[in-house]
Amino acid sequence: MKIWSDFLLLRQLLTKRELYSFSRFILVVFLLLANSGCSPVAVKQVASKIEQLSNLLPDLSKEATFQVQVKPLSKKGSYSVTGTTNLPDDTPIAVLALRHLHPNDRLPPGVGSNPTYSILTYQDVKVKKGKWQIDLNLWKVAKDGRFQEAWQIEQPKLGLKLEPDSEVTFLATLAPTEGLWEVEERLEKQGIKIANNIIRNTVEGDRYVQASQGLSVALPTGSTAPPPERPEDLNGGWG
């Protein structure tokens, strides 16, 4: 029967992975029109045209990859952060390391007990030939020459005792200066789509791409020569 043969042809074409929803819609419309009076030869001709159209549309069966790996370097407090991706070259990646902190029980009135975090360091890097790499130094030098993390240096000013997590989280994020929709548009031309599992949402609803890795990192130890005094460190910041 003509209807059955057309159904089989329609089913065969609609199950092709390279057909986009738009071309599938057009295919259905043309086959319905064909069933209203066109011959089987005409139906096949229309189907052939639709299949040719689908070949002109990008195949988004590939997904964007975005992975991060962290390794300690021989220099204490320094870590190599590398990534692999099929995002376009020169895509800016923001790389940071943070440690979660927990205030102790004896807090001043009005101060919440929710955990917070300290950004230990932050740098930008760009994708080159599917890879990116940056070295991060988590240690800073306090006024007395001790090696400390940023939050340890600022802790006396806050008047809080903070308990640090044993892990540091290394985050690689598509830099906020690069609109995600722009990257998606560039990837679509290459037949690549961004997988949902690497897309995050801000409180405001903005989307961004992120990968992370946690690593057990001990607090700094040891000391070095104290840094020279800066004008902003003198006279209460007045120089």
Task: Provide the pLDDT for residue 59.
Answer: 41
Q: What is the pLDDT of residues 103-147, one digit of tens each?
A: 875 655 555 556 688 999 999 999 999 999 999 999 999 999 999
Instruction: Return d(Cα 78, Cα 10) in angstroms, integer.
Output: 60
- What are the backbone dihedrals phi and psi of residue 187, each rounded to the nearest 5 degrees, phi first? -70, -35
Q: Are residues 93 and 26 in the same domain?
A: no
Residue with the bigger pLDDT between 235 and 151: it is 151
- Is 85 among the domain residues? yes
Please list, residue by residue across 6-17, b when 16 or more beta carbons sit within 10 angstroms of its beta carbon and e when fewer do.
Answer: beebbeebeeee
Least confident of 50-59, 156-165, 230-239: 50-59
Q: Are residues 157 and 113 in the same domain?
A: yes
Residue with the bigger pLDDT between 105 and 166: it is 166
Least confident of 16-25, 59-68, 99-108, 228-237: 16-25
- The answer on pLDDT for 56 being more than 90 is no
- Is 235 among the domain residues? no
Cα atoms in the 13 Å half-sphere on the side-chain side of 202: 8
43-67 mean pLDDT: 54
Q: Are residues 34 and 71 in the same domain?
A: no
Least confident of 58-67, 118-127, 151-160, 206-215: 58-67
Q: Are residues 182 and 68 in the same domain?
A: yes
Q: Are residues 216 and 168 in the same domain?
A: yes
Q: Are residues 85 and 183 in the same domain?
A: yes
How far apart, in Å, are the Cα atoms of 130 and each of 65, 67, 181?
9, 11, 19
Q: In terms of residue numbers, what domain contains 98?
A: 62-230
Task: Provide the pLDDT for residue 63.
Answer: 72
Q: Are residues 39 and 134 in the same domain?
A: no
Residue with the bigger pLDDT between 26 and 88: it is 88
Q: Are residues 108 and 216 in the same domain?
A: yes
Of 17, 32, 56, the position where a domain reaches its end is: 56
Q: Are residues 41 and 77 in the same domain?
A: no
The sign one gets for the Cα dihedral 144, 146, 151, 155 is negative
Overall number of domains in the chain? 2
Residue with the bigger pLDDT between 111 and 92: it is 92
